[in-house]
Amino acid sequence: MPFCPHLLKAHASKPIACILAALVAFTVVCTAGDAKDLKAIYVSDIPLRDGVNLAADIYMPESNERRPAILVRTPYDPRLKPPIDFPKRLAEAGYVVVVNHCRGRYDSHGSFMPFKNEALDGFDVVEWIAKQPWSDGRVGLMGSSYSGIAGWQLAALKNPHLSAMFTIVAPEDLYKDIVYPGGAFSLATSFWWFSVVDRRTTQDWQFNNWEAALKHLPVYKIDEQLGRKFPVLRDMMDHPAYSQYWKDFYSMDGLYDQIDIPVFIVGGWNDSFVAGTLDTFSGAQRAAARANKAAGRVQALIGPWDHLGSLTGLGTVFGEIDYGVNSAVDVSKVAVDWFDRWFKNKRQETWQSQPLKYFQTGSNQWKQTSNWPPPAAAEESYYLHSAGSANTSAGDGRLSRQAPADEPDDKFRYDPLNPVPSVASKHILLSSSVKNIASIESRSDLLVYTSEVLENDLIVEGNPRLVLEISSDAPDTDFNAWLTEVGPDGRSLSLLDGAVRCSTYLKPKLKNSQLNPSERYEVVIELGSLAHVFKSGNRLRLDLSSSSFPEFDRNLNNGKDNCKEDKARVATQVVMHNRVASSQLILPVVH
């Protein structure tokens, strides 16, 4: 899934075609005249088992010898050309590159149903490739984002012709990584992506008033405000809790043992899918170990890049941070080296000696490790403290390694009609980079907890989470958190953020799926993944509220079907930190 309309204003100076061109980097190709000794053929008669025919744009060296093929399956426009052209690079390296239009998209027949048909359709396309006169019978998989997900789905079917896979920014699970992270509906990204794939070809959305549309209630009918109908997305909104419904769309849960080909995984710390991308690395690595596979069959590279930057690896500035020239990696060359290793028996270059190579932000250095989280990381708790007035950055909220004694609760009022804006939005694609969020820290509906000045560097590598002891007078509500690093200049740079929807998280414990205002509950906000050095002289900060809009839909606090309601109520939220209920930020720290 790509970026969202929340960023259109920021990208207003860029033509829409240019934005899309970057988005679909893996589906984009040169014409035959752009590269010497390459040719292209175009087909629309790839047969599927149910009688539907698919189309593909195929790029290959001019000579007629049989070669390995690299399959890219895409729902996006295959005609646009980005600065870095993977199909061209792979064809120049001696591969046939098959850019296959997904069912119901562009020149392929049938109806597009997101995620539903990619495994079996991909299997049939591989069978077709293996029978072609230019194929030596071996096929590799390559793709980013949706195309990478399609690759994982296909790889799990164990087609005998598959030999290797290279996937970028493709997370593990549709529910937890994309549509409902923390149980809250990923509003902006979901509506933008479905607007992209709503019809056979990508439509122009610049005439839509996205800001007004996303504010519309009920959420269920936002598509009508955009002049569209999204029946699949509405169906997803009818299933706000994780279930077999979501596994039937896309989840690698329980499928890694069916992956028996080597896989290389690329992601970026500024990409909203990085936690799910690392989950695929860990899942595939554990499965390979259970199957006694040779070392080196599962590798990963995580740079400082965002969603689009991960496609090339060549950018160095994301959000408000310049990570330096050392952060750039030619991802297309890594892909060629990976396929050459498994198809041509060439030795992989020695720049990566451990299964996972990652860029440590803050120090801006490359590191390597055997597993994620790194074995050296150990969890440490930073406890929330205050005298009952942690509201705003001028309040008395503190973070400390010392457990709380008897302290008063912190409270704030959450009004869904005046939500905290998504200044930093880890779950809005193309808006997930590090940003200064000091502008929202003066709001009274934000609790702010700040550490003392760090005397030494604090190295955090792994998956931070926040354990909150809370109560609310609403039948249902959300809690949102931001992990930031505060410099001497007062900038509060948000590194991670996340949400939890109480009714979803606490469902087994709730009567009639509603909160009891007199009861204390423990909820956990998963903040994602990072490898970062909080520098000495800076401070660690945690911001806490009940909204981040339009990153997530606003919980209307009424305990009903949130996406179908148009009435909101104000909630009084309580965060506890005392001897019995010690709210704490848990960080994986490396000493």
> How large is the average pLDDT for residues 402-415?
97
CB-CB contact of 232 with 117 (8 Å): no
What's at 221, amino acid-wise? K
pLDDT for residue 395 is more than 70: yes
Give the pLDDT of residue 368.
96
Percent of the chain at pLDDT above 90? 86
CB-CB contact of 384 with 525 (8 Å): no
- Show the tokens assigned to 380: 């440490």
Give the pLDDT of residue 12.
34
Distance CA 96, CA 395 (A): 61
Parallel, antiparallel, or unpaired for β 458-462 and 530-534? antiparallel
Distance CA 115, CA 250 (A): 6
Q: Which residues, in sequence order, are CB contacts of 287 under 8 Å at separation 6+?
A: 256, 257, 259
Which whole-number Å values give the CA distances from 25 to 82, 257, 476, in the listed order?
6, 30, 41
Mean pLDDT lowest for which of 119-133, 313-327, 503-517? 503-517
> How large is the average pLDDT for residues 492-511?
95
Give the pLDDT of residue 540.
98
Write the pLDDT tens digit of every residue in 188-229.
Answer: 999 999 998 989 998 777 778 999 999 999 999 999 999 999
pLDDT for residue 17 is more than 60: no
294 pLDDT band, cuts 50/70/90, is: confident
> How large is the average pLDDT for residues 119-134?
98
> How large is the average pLDDT for residues 47-74?
96
CB-CB contact of 16 with 23 (8 Å): no
pLDDT for residue 15 is more than 90: no
pLDDT for residue 104 is more than 70: yes
Cα–chain center distance at 399: 28
Parallel, antiparallel, or unpaired for β 317-318 and 321-322? antiparallel
Name the β-bridge partners of 72.
99
Query: Where do the DSSP E strands lie in 325-452?
Result: 356-360, 365-369, 378-385, 398-400, 410-414, 435-436, 447-450
Give the pLDDT of residue 36.
67
pLDDT for residue 34 is more than 60: no
Give the pLDDT of residue 150.
98
Burial readout 274-293 (b: 16 or more C-beta within 10 A, e: otherwise):
bbbbbbbbbbbbebbeeeeb
Give the pLDDT of residue 38.
92
- Show the tokens assigned to 509: 């414990």
Percent of the chain at pLDDT above 70? 92
31 pLDDT band, cuts 50/70/90, is: very low
> How large is the average pLDDT for residues 153-172?
98
Return the number of other C-beta atoms located less than 10 Å from residue 344's C-beta.
11
Name the nearest CA neighbour of 26 among 329, 241, 331.
Answer: 331
Give the pLDDT of residue 260.
94
Q: Please give the residue that has the higher pLDDT: either 144 or 3.
A: 144
Phi, psi of 39 (to 5 degrees): -140, 165
Write the pLDDT tens digit of every residue in 304-343.
Answer: 999 999 999 999 999 999 999 999 999 999 999 999 999 9
Maximum distance among all alpha carbons in the chain? 78
The residue count for the chain: 591
Question: Domains, the chain, ranges and CATH?
Answer: 5-261 (3.40.50), 378-590 (2.60.120.260)
Write the pLDDT tens digit of every residue in 446-465.
Answer: 999 999 999 999 999 999 99
pLDDT for residue 1 is more than 70: no
- Show the tokens assigned to 230: 């999204």
Parallel, antiparallel, or unpaired for β 356-360 and 298-303? parallel
Phi, psi of 244 (to 5 degrees): -60, -25
Which whole-number Å values give the CA distances from 10 to 6, 205, 333, 491, 557, in the listed order?
8, 15, 31, 21, 31
Mean pLDDT of the chain: 92
Q: Please give the residue that has the higher pLDDT: either 32 or 543.
A: 543
Residue with tokens 């990584």: 177
pLDDT for residue 579 is more than 70: yes
Name the nearest CA neighbour of 485 among 496, 499, 476.
Answer: 496
35 pLDDT band, cuts 50/70/90, is: low
Give the pLDDT of residue 323.
97
Distance CA 478, CA 498 (A): 11
> How large is the average pLDDT for residues 51-70?
96
Determine whether 364 is exposed, middle or buried from the number of CB atoms within 10 Å of its CB (0-12, 13-18, 19+).
middle
Name the nearest CA neighbour of 492 among 534, 456, 554.
Answer: 534
24 pLDDT band, cuts 50/70/90, is: very low
Distance CA 86, CA 224 (A): 37
pLDDT for residue 394 is more than 90: yes
> How large is the average pLDDT for residues 537-556?
98
Query: Where do the DSSP E strands lie in 134-177?
Result: 135-144, 162-168
CB-CB contact of 447 with 412 (8 Å): yes
> How large is the average pLDDT for residues 532-541?
98
